[in-house]
């Protein structure tokens, strides 16, 4: 690696051009009607550097719901309020199962494997719920300050549709409640969880929202400390081992960076001390990760030498 700053703009354009054909592959999420309407053939990428510059290529103006990438902010807000005490409620181990799997909960006394599978994110929401008077408002304000865009909002059609089809997520929450690992009203916590998933951003805002992961915990836009340097390093370690569900190993092998994906076809990845990158392309592979998104991050890591090992 040289010390010269890479030409990020040119590299993103090359990546976008190379992976654009892959954006027609895969299947859009169809578990709720609002997501099934997304069309294939779209791709966007944005990179936000640790010194505060944003570069982007592809369909960058498009807004999309961030889905499971929201689990990173949920965990962040919970760590701010609980520190290591949070780990009494949720584990830190890779699950090796689908993001919406129920089976481990039964065998592991209602303690989800990690905060990035649905059960883990829902119990983290429950913990947050206990310490916030208006969780949805607080969550929105975090994204607004991190992106310096006071207009960031929630796609209410998606949130409602998720809630109307909540059976599986509700089953997880009630199972955790039966084990005593749930403190608040299940339906209220689920409503917050779905609203967090339905926060709508474009790819540049998404990279900015998670810039603190590449700066040792400081938000680029607001200048505020979000997490301590140690907590940020720990969060990146968890993203590396568990951010892509049962494809975490494949992602580590191909991309080699901490990352988090969502079923809208978005993924964030972190090059510590260098940048946070966000991609979006709705065509998903069998485990629910963006086909073109993973290919783009693999290419980017190769071009920039950002794989950790
Ligand atoms: N809203 C989705 C769900 O709860 C999030 C899942 C995901 O992005 N993997 O099922």
Domain of 67, CATH number, reads 3.40.710.10
Is the beta carbon of 162 within 6 A of some atom in ligand 1? yes
Write the pLDDT tens digit of every residue in 161-184.
Answer: 999 999 999 999 999 999 999 999
- Provide the edge-to-edge strand list for the sheet that holds 64-65: 64-65, 199-201, 153-154
Say if 280 falls within a structural domain: yes
Is the beta carbon of 119 within 6 A of some atom in ligand 1? no
For 264, the token pair is: 């809208």
Say if 283 falls within a structural domain: yes
Is the beta carbon of 38 within 6 A of some atom in ligand 1? no
Is the beta carbon of 197 within 6 A of some atom in ligand 1? yes
Q: Which atom of ligand 1 is nearest to the CA of 197?
A: 1
Q: Quick one: pLDDT at residue 106? A: 87
Say if 2 falls within a structural domain: no
Say if 309 falls within a structural domain: no
Write the pLDDT tens digit of every residue in 111-142.
Answer: 999 999 999 999 999 999 999 999 999 999 99
Binding positions for substrate: 68, 118, 162, 169, 193, 245, 263
Is the beta carbon of 161 within 6 A of some atom in ligand 1? no
Q: Quick one: pLDDT at residue 26? A: 97
Count the domains in the chain. Answer: 1
Rounded distance between C-alpha atoms, residue 25 and residue 283, angstroms:
6
Say if 103 falls within a structural domain: yes
pTM to 2 decimal places? 0.97
Write the pLDDT tens digit of every residue in 229-287.
Answer: 999 999 999 999 999 988 999 999 999 999 999 999 999 999 999 999 999 999 999 99
Pick left, alpha or beta for residue 101 (phi over 0 → left; psi -120 to 50 → alpha; otherwise beta): beta
Q: Quick one: pLDDT at residue 91? A: 97
Domain extent for 274? 8-304
Is the beta carbon of 70 within 6 A of some atom in ligand 1? no
Q: Quick one: pLDDT at residue 1? A: 47
Share of the chain above pLDDT 70, in %: 99
Say if 1 falls within a structural domain: no
Rounded distance between C-alpha atoms, residue 24 and residue 39, angstroms:
9
CA of 262 to the centre of ligand 1 (A): 7
CA of 94 to the centre of ligand 1 (A): 17
Residue pointed to by tokens 């805002």 = 205
Sign (positive/negative) of CA torsion 294, 79, 74, 272? negative
Say if 3 falls within a structural domain: no
CA of 305 to the centre of ligand 1 (A): 31
Non-local (6+) Cβ contacts of 196 within 8 A are 70, 73, 74, 125, 136, 139
Say if 109 falls within a structural domain: yes
Three-state DSSP state, 65: strand
Q: Which residue has the least CA distance to atom 2 on ligand 1?
A: 67
């Amino acid at each position: 690696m040289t010390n010269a700053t890479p030409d990020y703009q040119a590299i993103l354009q090359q990546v976008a051009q190379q992976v654009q054909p892959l954006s027609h592959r895969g299947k859009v999420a169809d578990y709720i009607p609002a997501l099934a309407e997304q069309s294939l053939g779209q791709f966007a990428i944005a990179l936000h550097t640790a010194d505060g510059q944003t570069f982007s290529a592809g369909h960058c103006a498009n807004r999309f719901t961030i889905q499971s990438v929201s689990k990173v902010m949920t965990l962040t807000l919970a760590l701010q309020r609980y520190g290591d005490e949070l780990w009494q409620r949720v584990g830190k181990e890779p699950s090796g199962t689908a993001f919406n799997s129920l089976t481990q909960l039964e065998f592991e006394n209602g303690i989800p494997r990690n905060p990035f599978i649905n059960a883990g994110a829902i119990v983290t929401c429950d913990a947050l719920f206990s310490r916030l008077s208006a969780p949805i408002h607080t969550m929105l304000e975090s994204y607004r300050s991190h992106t310096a865009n006071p207009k960031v909002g929630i796609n209410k059609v998606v949130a409602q549709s998720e809630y109307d089809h909540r059976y599986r997520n509700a089953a997880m929450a009630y199972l955790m409640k039966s084990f005593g690992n749930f403190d608040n009203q299940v339906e209220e916590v689920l409503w917050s969880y779905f609203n967090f998933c339905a926060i709508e951003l474009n790819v540049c805002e998404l990279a900015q929202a998670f810039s603190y992961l590449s700066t040792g915990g400081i938000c680029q836009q607001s200048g505020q400390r979000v997490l301590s340097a140690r907590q940020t390093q720990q969060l990146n370690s968890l993203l590396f081992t568990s951010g892509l569900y049962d494809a975490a190993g494949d992602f580590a092998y191909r991309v080699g960076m901490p990352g988090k994906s969502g079923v809208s076809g978005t993924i964030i990845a972190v090059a510590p001390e260098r940048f946070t990158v966000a991609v979006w392309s709705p065509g998903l592979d069998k485990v629910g990760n963006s086909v073109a998104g993973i290919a783009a991050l693999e290419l980017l890591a190769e071009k920039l030498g950002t794989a950790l090992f």
